[in-house]
Amino acid sequence: MLVRFFLMLRAAGVPVSLTEFLALLEALKARVGTLSVDDFYVLGRTVLVKDERHYDRYDRVFGQHFKGLEQAFAALGEASVPEEWLRRMAELTLSAEERAKVEALGGFDQLMEALKERLREQQGRHEGGSKWIGTAGRSPFGAYGYNPEGVRIGQDGSRNRSAVKVWDRREFRNLDDSLELGTRNIKLALRRLRRFAREGAADELDLGGTIDATARNAGWLDLRLVPERHNAIKVLLFLDVGGSMDDHVRVCEELFTAARTEFKHLEYYYFHNFVYETVWKDNRRRHAERIPTHEVIRTYGPDYRLVFVGDATMGPYEIVQPGGSIEHWNDEAGAAWLGRLQRAYPKHVWLNPEPEDRWDYVPSIGVARQLLEGRMYPLTLAGIDRATRALNAR
């Protein structure tokens, strides 16, 4: 029984290994918990799952595998009275009218039966893949709005410990971030860009150097100090704001937060749609305080790595035509400015929050990619990874 559970966990993408499985058996043998399904649930989670992001997957597998088995557990331990409880909850939550309606439908028991029946059908239809779908709530049962599991979720609390189905509540749902890109993951992806160098004040004892110098000094102590190691990578971030980028604010914010904490030398500027002769640092005063792009190029040396973040989704003329900008009259085309920046910063990439498979349908992305000679990457973890490799190359 447990072997199947173990295999199901693996199939669901929870990275459990044999060591952990054996540890679980060991824990069961040592009688760490009592013989109840709740204790087993918690114990299994403690031993098998090592990341809160996987809690939800564990909950799902547990629910699937032990569906109906809680009765068996209950027989081992104290007896449970879920029906009773359901009734009480219905009494608590239903209004007088609704209760009358329930009566009209043939009483509570029949209603629950019908509801279960309905749910079974719905699950059959909707359940695509491994996810439970809560659409069962769209039933004619008005105020219930839940599936039987959902109703039973309500059994929470200290009243009847043995029947609580914590896993059904799936409280860790939003911790599962296999699709989403969290700042932590971005930080890790950006970490590839680290390059340590010793710079600044010498305040760390150089043991090897000291011994060497002392030996040369005929045994008289000669202390040597070196500066501490720092991440010496310098990053210049150009962020597209406004317009079509509004859809991507969240992911850009995350990237920005991650980059801010990861790099000591990080400079950032904003632009709208494409880079022209000016950029700005403060979006609230973007019209008042503009900084010439030339000045940026003069200020930061070619050892900076340049990262554009933008969806590059606009009219192609905004890139290739002088005066193409939608905000102001630009004497030179955006392409010329991009070229200047590219020459000033040989190590550059463009991160695009639009999904990669849509790039081919947007002409301006095609133009930008051509100008960038393929150095455009999607703003996903894998994309950032590829981008950091490109920035490190050469």
Partner 1 sequence: MSSNRFTGTARYVATDDLKMAVNAAVTLSRPLLIKGEPGTGKTQLAEEIAASLGRPLHEWHIKSTTKAQQGLYEYDAVSRLRDSQLGEARVRDIGNYIVKGRLWEAFTSDVQPVLLIDEIDKADIEFPNDLLRELDRMEFYVYETRELVKARHRPIIVITSNNEKELPDAFLRRCFFHYIRFPEAETMTAIIDVHFPGLKRELLKEALDAFYRLRDVPGLKKKPSTSELLDWIKLLLAEDIPPEALRAVDGKTAIPPLYGALLKNEQDVHLFEQLVFMNRRAAR
Nearer to partner 1, 47 or 163 (CB): 47
Beta bridge partners, 349, equal 307
Closest CA to 317 of 368, 246, 352: 368
Query: What is the SS3 assignment for 38?
Result: helix
Beta bridge partners, 292, equal 278
Nearer to partner 1, 120 or 173 (CB): 173
Q: Considering the complex, what minimum distance in angstroms separates the CB of residue 27 from partner 1?
A: 5
Q: Considering the complex, what minimum distance in angstroms separates the CB of residue 247 from partner 1?
A: 17
Q: Considering the complex, what minimum distance in angstroms separates the CB of residue 15 from partner 1?
A: 7
Rounded CA gap, 193 and 319, in Å? 30
14 with 8: CB under 8 angstroms? no
Query: Which residue ranges make up the site for partner 1 (CB under 8 A)?
Result: 15, 17, 19-20, 23, 26-27, 30, 32-33, 38-39, 42-43, 45-47, 49-52, 55, 157, 171-172, 184-185, 187-188, 191, 205, 207, 210-211, 214, 219-221
User: For residue 167, what are the CA distances in angstroms to 44, 136, 330?
Assistant: 12, 18, 59
Nearer to partner 1, 25 or 100 (CB): 25
Nearer to partner 1, 125 or 264 (CB): 264
Which helix (H) or strand (E) is 249 found in, with range?
helix 249-262
> How many other C-beta atoms are found inside a 10 Å radius of the C-beta of residue 294?
13
Q: Considering the complex, what minimum distance in angstroms separates the CB of residue 205 from partner 1?
A: 7
Q: Considering the complex, what minimum distance in angstroms separates the CB of residue 304 from partner 1?
A: 24
Give the up-direction half-sphere exposure of residue 307: CA atoms within 13 A in the CB hemisphere.
Answer: 31
Neighbouring residues of 235: CB distance < 8 A, sequence distance ≥ 6: 193, 259, 263, 265, 266, 267, 304, 305, 307
Q: Considering the complex, what minimum distance in angstroms separates the CB of residue 50 from partner 1?
A: 4
322 with 330: CB under 8 angstroms? yes
Nearer to partner 1, 126 or 191 (CB): 191
Task: List strand residue ranges (DSSP E) for 251-375, in order.
Answer: 265-271, 278-280, 290-292, 304-309, 348-352
In DSSP notation, 160-199 reads: TGGG--HHHH-TTGGG--SSS--HHHHHHHHGGG--EEEE
Nearer to partner 1, 129 or 200 (CB): 200
Nearer to partner 1, 5 or 41 (CB): 41
Nearer to partner 1, 104 or 221 (CB): 221
Question: What is the distance in angstroms between the CA of the first residue and the CA of the last residue of the chain?
Answer: 55
Q: Considering the complex, what minimum distance in angstroms separates the CB of residue 237 from partner 1?
A: 19
Q: Considering the complex, what minimum distance in angstroms separates the CB of residue 2 from partner 1?
A: 16
